Amino acid sequence: MGRRGDRRRLRLRLLLPGGGDHRDHLGHPERVPASRLNDRRAASAAHLQDHLRPGRRRPRADQDHLPRRGREGSASQADEASEPVLQRVVRRRAPPRTEERRAPDPRQQARSRALLLVDAVKVQAALAALGQPKFRWDQVRQAVFGKSVSSYDEILVLPAEIRRALSEQLPLLSVKERRVDVSGDGRAHKALLNLHDGRVVETVLLRPSETRWTTCISSQVGCAVACTFCATGLMGLTRSLTPEEITDQVLFWRQYMAKKGLPGRLDNVVYMGMGEPFACYEQVSASLKTLLDYKLFGIGARHISVSTSGVAPRIALFGRDFPQVNLAISLHAATDELRTRLVPMNKAFNLEALAQALKEYIGSTNRKIFFEYVLLKGENDRPEDAGALVKWLDGVGPKELLHVNLIVFNQTDTPHKPTDENDARIFQQRLLAGGYKSTVRQNLGRDIDGACGQLVVLEKA
Ligand code: SF4
């Protein structure tokens, strides 16, 4: 069996009954017996379903980890406990009212600054501790972000003892390459990256045209949204990434391209890897500021896209915070019944709530919105599905601001099947006839399980 066969076998070891390596709380490998592992998976799936069930009440025993204030059991808290989990999380962090936004909390500002400049602050502090003048930071910055060096040893303008000291004290990246797979046509590269706590995340580098490179980055390890067709959704959520871990995926690929001598420049970023970006808005927001900062990554806002499965309250906030960054919505169905089945978070924020949020977004930005629609054979690719989609889009905004990207399903370990290419074209024609621009997206990286919806961490058994 070849490498692809090996990967498939590893995946089966992960997803189907069998043993596997897990990590303890310190990140050390822990051998878990097959029976216990299966119990954990079943419990995790049941827990997620329970969280997403409307009307769910948190059992008292689960409240032990909450702050005292959250355990008092008032009527309003009981109501809160009955909300679906993502809705609760988002409501707690709802954007402040306009007048509050005019007078920002200085502590919050300091925290945001710390999140934004975490790499820079660490390097500057290390240089200061080494008694170096301030211009040394500019030398490091230009080498790391301008020349994509992979180690301090390559920054020859620094004195040798400073290079050595920085190498010992501070890794240049917060992520470490574990493995990179390259597709047969060389246009898709998928990396498995180790994080400091032993977790693993995937990221993809794509070359859609001769000179353009795009990276698809992750915002979380796993995902709680649990879309039924998505390999990441099968993992459940482990944790969100830090801003540094998010932006370091871009830095990793720039270094990779420099080392491999790949021509062209990486300056397109899409937040469409593992995770729901708006479920960790603060980290994603900080990472966006770093990517946009002309002194650091300097990536143009219109070259960055953030994709959400529809966390409605965050959409308007995103429009206010980043009006020039592209917004994509993972839609996949245009009736609540079907969408709730495919994207369970639709229970928390249904299509009406999503349409309202998008209207507000368009009102404040007048920007185009991209809709991602994975075509699943016999499920959401029928004529009536195209009709429902046109009807729903009619209620969202002007036709010229709405664009539908059709994605032929990339096979994952789920029961769904891909729509035939021909049927995808027919679906596209129905949208065009309804007045909506639509493209059938190229699928790069299928042969390395790096295409849309295929990202999943394969731990060696
Ligand atoms: S498609 Fe996106 S939102 Fe849905 S489970 Fe996968 S990673 Fe999460």
Q: What is the pLDDT of residues 262-309, one digit of tens each?
A: 998 898 999 999 999 999 999 999 999 999 999 999 999 999 999 999
Cα Rg of the chain, angstroms: 23
Question: Amino acid identity, residue 361?
Answer: Y
Which segment of 1-15, 141-155, 197-211, 322-336 scores lowest on mean pLDDT?
1-15
At residue 450 the predicted structure's pLDDT band, cuts being 50, 70 and 90, is low
Q: Ligand 1 within 6 A of 309 CB?
A: yes
Distances (CA, A) of 331 to 161, 227, 228, 409: 54, 11, 13, 14
What is the dotted CATH code of the domain comprising 176-448? 3.20.20.70
For the Cβ of 272 lying below 6 angstroms from any atom of ligand 1, the answer is no
What lies within 8 Å, CB to CB, of 344 at 6+ separation is: 49, 52, 225, 226, 227, 228
Write out the CATH class of domain 119-172: mainly alpha
Spatial CB neighbours of 21, under 8 Å, sequence gap ≥ 6: 29, 30, 31, 32, 459, 460, 461
Our answer to whether residue 452 is catalytic in this structure is yes
Average pLDDT, the chain: 78
Which of 225, 405, 413 has the most ligand 1 atoms within 8 A of CB, as the residue to mutate?
Answer: 225
Q: Token match 């997206």: residue?
A: 441
Residue 47 pLDDT greater than 50, yes or no = no
Compute, in angstroms, the gap from residue 150 CA to the centroid of ligand 1.
Answer: 31
Q: Where in the chain is the domain with CATH 1.10.150?
A: 119-172
Q: What is the pLDDT of residue 92?
A: 40
Residues of the chain with CATH 3.20.20.70: 176-448
What is the ipTM metric for this complex?
A: 0.99
Block residue for tokens 């603060």: 282
Ligand 1 binding pocket includes 220 (Cβ within 6 Å):
no
State residue 376's pLDDT score: 95
Atom of ligand 1 nearest to the CA of 226: 5
CA of 30 to the centre of ligand 1 (A): 28
Among 48-52, 156-160, 433-437, which stretch is predicted with the lowest mean pLDDT?
48-52
Selected catalytic residue, list 83, 202, 276, 372: 202
